[in-house]
Amino acid sequence: MNKFYGTANFDLGGANYLVQICLNLEEDTLELRWSVSDPKELFELQLQNGVSRSRAKLTDIQIELPTGSLRKDSYDDFFVSSFSVGGFSDYDSLLTRAFDVRGRDDGITRAIIQPKNSRLEFDFIPQVKRATQYELFYSGIRTDVGPPKQLRLGSVDAVVAGDKKGLSVRAESSLLQEEELFRLAWGVTQGGPATLRSILDGDRIILNLAAHRGTGAGRLFQKPDDGPLLLQGLLDWFHSLSADDSTLWTRATFFYLHGVGGTTPLEIRAINLLTFIEMIDRSDTLNKTAVANLLGLETDGADLVCRVRNRLIHRGQSIGSAVLRAYEELLGHKESLTITTFLIDRNDQHRTGVHFFFRLASLINRLWISKAGFTREWNDYSEYLP
């Protein structure tokens, strides 16, 4: 179930309506429905709609969940993205409207509310008070955790459990301060961006209505039982960083995650990976010596990476073309090249580009494995290499 219903008062430019409100987690919107009593009111409402969307406001919001109620006294940080009014017929009545007998929404007005801020906070009144009132819930990528596992998030002990529907992190104290680092570490572990969908923090619930729709390139670990071990290693490493280093790696990791797990063309994903490298290298632009040391590459291979980056960004070339032209450029400066990491196939530009992307991602994954102190089998993306 991804739709939850309740009531609210809807102020549309001074006209106030008691409305049915639907929290639609499939479309990440709020939907309003209410009855208009006569055609004259309908006409006036249409006139108001043209001038009053910017002054719309919701009050006394109450949405029922199977486990309790969401409540919010007032809310106006949204815009009305669509607005429609059902027609009238001679057979229209209160009961035919209430039960939509004719399937035409006669006399029913609809409005779609789009929050300006994707995070929407409610007071939460549970039906049954539980001991654990702190939880994070994630979706967006495949989850491989298995039965509940104990993890340490900085100074907070937590229980993590998940399946293909999502991942739950529960604790006996607030997890808000740990949320971002956990989301990043979990994304790295699973090979793509994770979406925080909801937070339970004591007597409030915070919903995120901006879900990531992409997929991952494959989890970083090989055996399911090793996932929590890798995740704990990454969490411990993130928490060991200084404040400045933590800020840098946090921002850089977003680029990495949208590189390995984005839905954009391969060129954009490769640029994200290269931006990640450039950020953690702390240089103004990629340098072959620094790239070689960082990724454990031969110097010519690192030089190729830098030249591919320049061609992708400054010349807008496809990834396959950028690799082959960068290779020819290198040959113009040296009699022989030592490039063992990347495939160069002059007869197949597509194969060359795909191979370059996944080898680059694999080199970065090796860096993550090292940071986490993980010594078990990990995913080098060999299954994707043409």
Res 48: pLDDT: 60
Residue-wise pLDDT for 158-214, tens only, equals 999 887 778 899 999 999 999 999 999 999 998 888 889 999 999 999 999 887 666
Structure tokens at 344: 């160069």
Go through 140-164 and write b for each residue having 16 or more CB atoms within 10 A of its CB, e for each that does not: bbebbbeeebebebeebebebebee
Mean pLDDT of the 267-291 span: 91
Res 17: pLDDT: 86
Res 86: pLDDT: 65
Mean pLDDT of the 64-76 span: 94
Q: Smallest Cα–Cα separation from 68: which of 4, 134, 121, 127?
A: 127
- H-helix or E-strand spanning residue 113: strand 108-115
Between CA 20 and CA 29 the distance in angstroms is: 14
91, with CB counted inside 10 A (0-12, 13-18, 19+), is: exposed
CA distances from 77 to 71, 123, 334, 385 (A): 16, 17, 60, 47
pTM of the model: 0.86
Res 116: pLDDT: 87
Mean pLDDT of the chain: 86
Res 187: pLDDT: 92
Residue-wise pLDDT for 13-51, tens only, equals 777 889 999 999 888 889 999 886 665 665 566 556 555
Res 44: pLDDT: 65
Res 214: pLDDT: 61
Between CA 247 and CA 232 the distance in angstroms is: 19
* Tokens 């009699």 sit on residue: 335
Between CA 186 and CA 167 the distance in angstroms is: 10
Indicate the pLDDT class of residue 215, thresholds 50, 70 and 90: low
- Domain boundaries along the sequence of the chain: 3-117, 130-250, 264-386
- For residue 231, pLDDT over 80 is answered with yes
Q: Smallest Cα–Cα separation from 15: which of 74, 56, 59?
A: 56
Of 111-120, 216-225, 258-267, 296-305, give the range with the top mean pLDDT.
Answer: 296-305
